Amino acid sequence: MNDLERIGSSFRDPSGFLFKRDGVLYRQVNTSYRKAYDHLISSGLYDALVTSHKMVAHSDTNEPPAEPDRAYKVIQPELMPMISYPYEWSFSEMKDAALLTLEIGRMALQKNMILKDASAYNIQFLDGKPILIDTLSFDIYHEGQLWDGYRQFCQHFLAPLALASLVDIRLMQLMRVYIDGTPLDLASELLPGKTKFGTGGLNIHIHMHARAEKRYAQSEALPTAGVKMDKASLLRIYDSLEKTIHPLKWEPAGTEWGNYYNITNYSDDSLKKKGEIVGKFIEQIAPKTAWDLGANNGLFSREASRRGVITVASDIDPAAVEQNYLAIKQTGEKNLLPLIIDLTNPSSSLGWFNAERESFFERGPVDLVIALALIHHLAISNNVPLDSIAELFSELANWATVEFVPKSDSQVKRLLATRKDIFDQYTVEGFEKAFSTYFTCEQKESIPNSERILYLFKKK
């Protein structure tokens, strides 16, 4: 019996959909999309996008379709090692995803196709670069056509970037609340007044856009019927969006964690030793996938990624994640994906049927969880019991590399300085006992010149 499963995020576009059979991911292309699909291939657009690593490759397959009545063909897309969502991206990840979308729009027009949507959820990250994963994003371009994806682009990319850059980085989290991107009227209300004047891109694409949407929301007659726009004008809109996005910057000011490695009580030598121990543990268990939780700027995540382990480096701090992404961009490192995740409130499942966007944990399990200098934040700052932390790690992975930071450590002293110490279980013994319920301890090593201990746990 075949195990057939439709993918929860793939139902809006009538051109086709994703499904899994026996655990393998396929995409059905519907007959209604036949002409466009054939044009994508025959025009050379597919090859141009795939060879420049802007779109995911796929192979033809003889796999039977999931819905034979409307099937044109079934293709098998190359798999992304890890799926992420815009509310988990750092500023520059979002910006690069936006610029890629515009670049793809331009490439499509050269081959007489048009991006029919501009969803941030169609972009994923592979080896530190954004990549389009929706092969069915293109329609055949008809001379005079306007861009249907314009509003979506502004909601999914421009509004969050402008808000992050000009108001507050935390407003990128609005993407978590609004499944189809930040509403433009809300963005317009929140953006500073100086963006409302003249022919500035933000005035046109956000403020005027929001006003026009409101004005025509109720109109039944369509004043745009019969309106044409030539290709040059369409390209000018892409250019204008790009010019609006380019100067948007975000540089963290006075971040709590951004310079964490400069303010810890670690000596350079201890840091190096810590990295060596983590590296040794990783070599010992040879995982394929790892999640480094509370990874900061990914210093130790690289012990995994540079050994070929597909690694997610998650942290609550947008500055650390940004720093990590910029470093990956600069060095061209592979296998490492930095994401903003608050482990005490990780991304939940969202959208229709609660199935369009997977929760962070649904995207696991992985082979290895790395949790360095994290336990004291969960246990002391967030009052999470140690055995609950151990239970969580055991759900996420078969192996865990965990650092225990005792109360005598200056970082823990700092956390306890402003509150009553109600954590009598928070001792080496209490920690080992809590983890022993779910794990066996395979290795235990003290980090030289510190009071910290590194453990390698194997799930029971």
Partner 1 sequence: MFNILFKVNYYLNPGTGSLIVQLIAAGIIGSIGILIKVFWARIKAFFKGEKYVPQQVEATDPVIEETEINE
Site for partner 1, rule CB under 8 A? 12-15, 32-33, 36, 116-117, 139, 142, 144-152, 199, 204-205, 208-209, 211-217, 219, 222-230, 232-234, 236-237, 239-240
The smaller minimum CB distance to partner 1, of residues 54 and 151, is found at: 151
| Nearest by Cα to 149 from 190, 185, 188, 181 | 181
Per the DSSP assignment, residues forming a β-bridge with 75 are 27, 60
The smaller minimum CB distance to partner 1, of residues 66 and 202, is found at: 202
| Nearest by Cα to 147 from 172, 169, 174, 115 | 115
For the residues of 318-377, what is the DSSP string, one character each? HHHHHHHHHHHHHHT--SEEEEE--TTS----BSGGG-SB--TGGG--EEEEEESS-HHI
For the residues of 237-255, what is the DSSP string, one character each? HHHHHHHHHTT------S-
The smaller minimum CB distance to partner 1, of residues 142 and 420, is found at: 142
What is the Cα–Cα distance from 247 to 300, expressed in whole angstroms?
A: 32
Per the DSSP assignment, residues forming a β-bridge with 443 are 456
Cβ 131 to partner 1 shortest distance, Å: 21
Judge whether 207 and 188 are in contact, CB under 8 Å: yes
What is the Cα–Cα distance from 376 to 404, expressed in whole angstroms?
A: 8
The smaller minimum CB distance to partner 1, of residues 126 and 140, is found at: 140
Structure tokens at 361: 């944990």
Cβ 17 to partner 1 shortest distance, Å: 12
Judge whether 14 and 30 are in contact, CB under 8 Å: yes
The smaller minimum CB distance to partner 1, of residues 128 and 181, is found at: 181
Cβ 60 to partner 1 shortest distance, Å: 23
Cβ 205 to partner 1 shortest distance, Å: 7
Residues 6 or more apart whose Cβ sits within 8 Å of residue 353: 8
Cβ 203 to partner 1 shortest distance, Å: 10
Residues 6 or more apart whose Cβ sits within 8 Å of residue 442: 284, 456, 457, 458
CA angle 291, 301, 342 (to 5 degrees): 50
The smaller minimum CB distance to partner 1, of residues 241 and 402, is found at: 241
The smaller minimum CB distance to partner 1, of residues 48 and 235, is found at: 235
User: Nearest 5°: phi and psi at 17?
Assistant: -160, 165
Cβ 199 to partner 1 shortest distance, Å: 5
The amino acid sitting at 412 is V
Cβ 45 to partner 1 shortest distance, Å: 17
The smaller minimum CB distance to partner 1, of residues 230 and 395, is found at: 230
Per the DSSP assignment, residues forming a β-bridge with 432 are none
| Nearest by Cα to 58 from 16, 89, 98 | 16
Cβ 117 to partner 1 shortest distance, Å: 5
Cβ 223 to partner 1 shortest distance, Å: 6
The smaller minimum CB distance to partner 1, of residues 244 and 289, is found at: 244
The smaller minimum CB distance to partner 1, of residues 1 and 221, is found at: 221
Cβ 202 to partner 1 shortest distance, Å: 12
